[in-house]
Structure 1
Amino acid sequence: MNSLETKHIYYTLHFLISLASAIMFTTYAIYYIEELGLNPFQLILIGTFLEVTIILFEGITGVVADTYSRRFSVITATFILGGAFILEGSIPYFSDAFAFGALAIFASLLVAEIIRGLGETFLSGADQAWLADEAGEGTIAAIFVRANQLRLVASLIGIVVSVVLASFALNLPYIVGGGIYVILGIFLCFFMKEHKFERAPAAVEMPFRAMKSTFVSGIGFIKKKPILWMLLLVTVLMGAASEGVDRLWEAHLLEAYAFPELGNLSPVVWFGIIHFVGTLISIGAMEWYQRKFDVNKPRVIRNSLFYFTLGQIAFTIIFGLASSFYWAIFSFWVLGIIGSITAPIYQTWLNQQLESGSRATVLSIMGQGNAVGQGFGGPFVGVVATRFYIRSAIVLSGLLIIPAAVLYGKVRKGK
């Protein structure tokens, strides 16, 4: 299997994941709020249960990927995620059949999100580790950037599909998105190969000892590299900050602003437009940035992460405090641009610090750090949103990013 085939499999994997995600998450907040009846605190609590699941299983599944097979881990993830999302979309059917009350509906959603969390841990780190081994570390920066562009294109398609499906029924996007994950899993079973991965010698004879050895190796590798400790701390901080915007931005727009009167568009269509235009802008910005700067250079990476993190702080606060609908949307789009540019840069920098034998384990530990941040920061942000205003919670999220900018600043100066 050559690198060309490897990157095409990786592109397909993330194109379909992004397509499914856009179909489901463009209108998910309206599904949660209007169909399932969740309040702001419950919205955050759903995210907390997801992240706690990731905290509990991330390290274990990362070790599985490094000890047995990255391919197995990725394929397992797609089927688990597909099942979780189909279950989440089926809750209204169960509610009608069994006369669920509000508590039963919320409990069903929690179960689906816990299953989803398990699936996310099998995927986290394993896909990047597989790519780095099969394609080679020297090519992954360009592949990460191109994959992110394809994700944005897939998101454009998914946004339109989501709005159309949600116009018929708010739960349909989840059922279709889950189905795409299942189809992806079947595709990977036939076409995803793994030639350069070396299974741990004791993986079959002494599986638990092999997994323990892999995990200890991953922890030891992090201890030896101060830059990884810094990235882990940044990941925790970013995880804590992300919950406010990721979980509450739709509720913030619905609560704080009157949507412009334009042909009596429903909130479903408005959120589709916001996503679609924002994604188009991000695609253009990312293409410009890739042509303008060499994202393989360490100096470009450090400067980009520092300055964009400062921008993220500023525009998160602006989004929370914006006095008009248009300023809020503008700042939200800028945050989307920042995320689309920094994500592949961060992935490249992190993978450049790792070695093959413990790559998936270390990446999973990083994912675990993000989950810890979201798991502990999320409920606090949710309480602020419920007891005070959603605006306050979003501004708080921006302030939580400040320590990450300080850390990036120290690395940028070579300290």
Structure 2
Amino acid sequence: MYYIEDLGLNPLQLILIGTAIELTVIVFESVTGVVADTYSRRLSIIIATFILGAAFLFEGSIPYLSNSSVAVGVLSAFVLLLFAEFIRGIGETFLSGAEQAWLTDEVEEEEVAKIFVRTNQLRLIASLVGIIISVVLASVALNLPYLAGGALYILLGVFLCIYMKEKNFERVETAKDRPWKAMASTFISGVTFIKNKPVLIMLLVVTVFIGATSEGFDRLWEAHLLEAFTFPSFGSLDVVVWFGVIQFMGTLISIGAMEWYQRRFDVNQPKVIRYSLFYFTVGQVIFLILFAVTPSFYLAIFCFWVLGIIGSITAPMYQAWLNQQLESKSRATVLSIMGQGNAVGQGLGGPFVGVIATRYYIRTALVLGAMLLLPAVILYGKVMKR
């Protein structure tokens, strides 16, 4: 809403904003992953929180910067937003890989799947509070949630500096005397590890197609609802509040679905993880297409909620399965390389979907985005059969 209403971005510009952050990830992801494996996962996470805080504070300040600039207008706001997303992308690379690697090393690998699922539940519960606060702040000004979020990231960084521990990480011996050699050795170790494990190569390919699909949907679902539907009128309910209600209910449903699923199935079992990833990805393709083509506002919202459930269950399972395949000394590096694969998918698939959405229809772009997920379905199917 902030990008569309306040900054006036069109569908292609929305996608290009995503492309900017993904290009940053492609360039810096492996470097920051190597830093985490060579020096400290804790340090990498703390650096990430401060950079992310600065990025969101800058992004929320764009309306003030644009108004005070000589070059006023959509173009100047768009350029400033690109720069803000570049800063955010660097922060994301410091966090990506390091967070999962730190957690996996601090606990037993066999238990990490359940912990990832529970962590995701806690994240969603916290986001419920965030949605409520964001709706209240956005009702005053659409940029206020960004400013508040940036301030919270800074406070989180201070909290982690004081309380975050790291007990099971061993720093590379040559990191202090020969830092470049140590980092190069860590990177080569990670690449070699991937090359020697076919399942990791398969997961790398899968994550490219997942990235290509997610970029289009993440950047265009709000624009699709605004373009394709007239929001039902309930008193003086503002569109911003509508989006808050949609996300709040979707998050609440996802929390319940995750709790039911982990109680019904042993999510630490590799077989459960493999079957879940296959069938949920098939469901994702179906509901993405239905979300794009349905003429019913309420059915579109239902599909959005189902897609949220699928994402909330499959994301921690994918993380757990991936972490269970890795060795500790290069864990963050390999996870970062996987993150680069996702960024490549988003960087290549995003602009393609954005051009289609701008030149034709957002519906058409969303359907094509769903089709990009079919190779992932095929690869998951092959793994499941084996």
CA RMSD of aligned residues (A): 0.8
> Aligned to 1:74, which of 38, 45, 63?
45
Aligned partner of 2:342 in structure 1 is: 370
Partner amino acid for 2:213?
A
- Of 351-360 and 139-148, more deviation after overlay is shown by 139-148
Aligned partner of 2:118 in structure 1 is: 146
Partner amino acid for 2:289?
I
The Cα of 1:139 is off from its aligned counterpart by 2.7
TM-score by length of 1: 0.92
> Aligned to 2:210, which of 230, 238, 243?
238
**Does the aligned pair in 1 maintain the 2:114–2:262 contact within 8 Å?**
no
> Deviations along 1:317-349, whole A, 9 cap, x unmatched?
000001110111111110000001111111110
Say which SS state the counterpart of residue 383 (structure 2) adopts: helix
Partner amino acid for 2:152?
I
CA–CA distance in 1 between the matches of 2:39 and 2:322? 22
Aligned partner of 2:242 in structure 1 is: 270
Partner amino acid for 2:78?
F
Residue 31 (structure 1) aligned with residue 5 (structure 2) = no
> Deviations along 1:219-278, whole A, 9 cap, x unmatched?
000001000000000000000011121000000000001111111311100000100111
Say which SS state the counterpart of residue 195 (structure 1) adopts: coil
The Cα of 1:137 is off from its aligned counterpart by 1.5
Aligned partner of 1:212 in structure 2 is: 184
CA–CA distance in 2 between the matches of 1:91 and 1:170? 11
Aligned partner of 1:294 in structure 2 is: 266
> Deviations along 1:178-197, whole A, 9 cap, x unmatched?
11110000000001111211
Partner amino acid for 1:32?
Y
> Aligned to 1:283, which of 255, 273, 276?
255
Partner amino acid for 1:188?
L
CA–CA distance in 2 between the matches of 1:51 and 1:367? 10
The Cα of 1:98 is off from its aligned counterpart by 2.2
CA–CA distance in 1 between the matches of 2:189 and 2:354? 37
> Aligned to 1:91, which of 52, 55, 62?
62
TM-score by length of 2: 0.99
Residue 45 (structure 1) aligned with residue 16 (structure 2) = yes
Aligned partner of 1:163 in structure 2 is: 135
**Does the aligned pair in 1 maintain the 2:34–2:187 contact within 8 Å?**
yes
CA–CA distance in 1 between the matches of 2:269 and 2:74? 53
| Structure 1 outlier segments of 4+, above 6 Å | none
CA–CA distance in 1 between the matches of 2:49 and 2:108? 24
The Cα of 1:81 is off from its aligned counterpart by 0.4
CA–CA distance in 2 between the matches of 1:266 and 1:349? 42
Aligned partner of 1:361 in structure 2 is: 333
Aligned partner of 1:202 in structure 2 is: 174
Partner amino acid for 2:240?
V
Aligned partner of 2:86 in structure 1 is: 114
Partner amino acid for 2:189?
S
Partner amino acid for 1:292?
R
**Does the aligned pair in 1 maintain the 2:112–2:268 contact within 8 Å?**
no
> Deviations along 1:123-171, whole A, 9 cap, x unmatched?
0010111111122323312211110110110111111111000001110
Flag structure 2 segments of 5+ consecutive residues without an equivalent.
none
CA–CA distance in 2 between the matches of 1:109 and 1:298? 41
**Does the aligned pair in 1 maintain the 2:110–2:268 contact within 8 Å?**
no
**What is the correspondence of 1:334-345 to structure 2 with a 5 Å cutoff?**
334-345=306-317
> Deviations along 1:87-127, whole A, 9 cap, x unmatched?
00001111222252221111100000000000000000101
Flag structure 1 segments of 5+ consecutive residues without an equivalent.
1-29
**Does the aligned pair in 1 maintain the 2:288–2:366 contact within 8 Å?**
yes
Say which SS state the counterpart of residue 236 (structure 2) adopts: coil
* Identity fraction in percent: 70
Residue 102 (structure 1) aligned with residue 70 (structure 2) = no
Residue 401 (structure 1) aligned with residue 354 (structure 2) = no
Partner amino acid for 1:279?
T
Aligned length: 385
**What is the correspondence of 1:130-141 to structure 2 with a 5 Å cutoff?**
130-141=102-113
Aligned partner of 1:9 in structure 2 is: none
Say which SS state the counterpart of residue 202 (structure 1) adopts: helix
CA–CA distance in 1 between the matches of 2:226 and 2:190? 44
CA–CA distance in 1 between the matches of 2:216 and 2:239? 20
Partner amino acid for 2:256?
G
CA–CA distance in 1 between the matches of 2:183 and 2:59? 32
CA–CA distance in 2 between the matches of 1:301 and 1:77? 29
Aligned partner of 1:25 in structure 2 is: none
- Of 221-230 and 139-148, more deviation after overlay is shown by 139-148
**Does the aligned pair in 1 maintain the 2:274–2:383 contact within 8 Å?**
yes
